């Protein structure tokens, strides 16, 4: 499989990820809800060493919330790119919204549904739902 390519909205940050993703999920945690502009983030789990920033590394900023893992975004356009503690952690989350390549994996679960916004409703998609995360 060719590496997947990804970018932020303004194009300053370009990256590649070696696929396939280990798993895919939607995250509705408090932080993802705030930073997503919607009901949460869509994520592909990858080994951190499978992610290569090919341009614009200097535009990246990492935010460490009081609870949960660090989130990384483009400081020029605000696009949310990586979570799960990237680049310090062994595994990281790649926001699927940043992936430009076609790929055929689809999310299998909604996680942190305990934090779902009161105005949000999960789609009737038949996916697993976890209060926090799947224990694995
Ligand atoms: Zn950008
Ligand atoms: Zn989250």
Please report, to the nearest 10 degrees, the dihedral formed by the alpha carbons of residues 5, 103, 41, 86 taken in order: -40
Cα of 68 vs centre of ligand 2, distance in Å, is: 8
Cis before 20 (ω within 30) = yes
Cα of 16 vs centre of ligand 1, distance in Å, is: 15
User: What tens digit of pLDDT does each residue of 85-129 get?
Assistant: 999 999 999 999 999 999 999 999 999 999 999 999 999 999 999
Cα of 59 vs centre of ligand 1, distance in Å, is: 7
What is the per-residue pLDDT for 135? 65
In sequence order, the 6+-apart residues with CB closer than 8 A to the CB of 107 are 24, 25, 26, 42, 43, 96, 127
pLDDT average, residue stretch 64-85: 95
What is the per-residue pLDDT for 134? 74
Cα of 31 vs centre of ligand 2, distance in Å, is: 6
User: What tens digit of pLDDT does each residue of 14-56 get?
Assistant: 999 999 999 999 999 999 999 999 999 999 999 999 999 999 9
Among the bound ligands, name the one nearest to the CA of residue 39: 2
């Amino acid at each position: 499989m060719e590496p997947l390519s990804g970018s932020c909205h303004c194009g300053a940050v370009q990256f590649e990820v070696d696929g396939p993703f280990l798993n895919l999920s939607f995250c509705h945690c408090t932080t993802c809800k705030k930073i997503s502009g919607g009901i949460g983030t869509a994520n592909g789990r990858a080994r951190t060493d499978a992610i290569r920033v090919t341009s614009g590394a200097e535009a990246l900023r990492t935010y460490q919330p009081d609870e949960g893992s660090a989130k990384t975004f483009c400081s020029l356009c605000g696009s949310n790119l990586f979570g799960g503690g990237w680049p310090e952690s062994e595994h990281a989350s790649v926001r699927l919204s940043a992936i430009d390549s076609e790929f055929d994996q689809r999310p299998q679960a909604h996680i942190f549904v305990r934090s779902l916004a009161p105005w949000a409703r999960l789609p009737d998609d038949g996916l697993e739902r976890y209060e926090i995360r799947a224990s694995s």
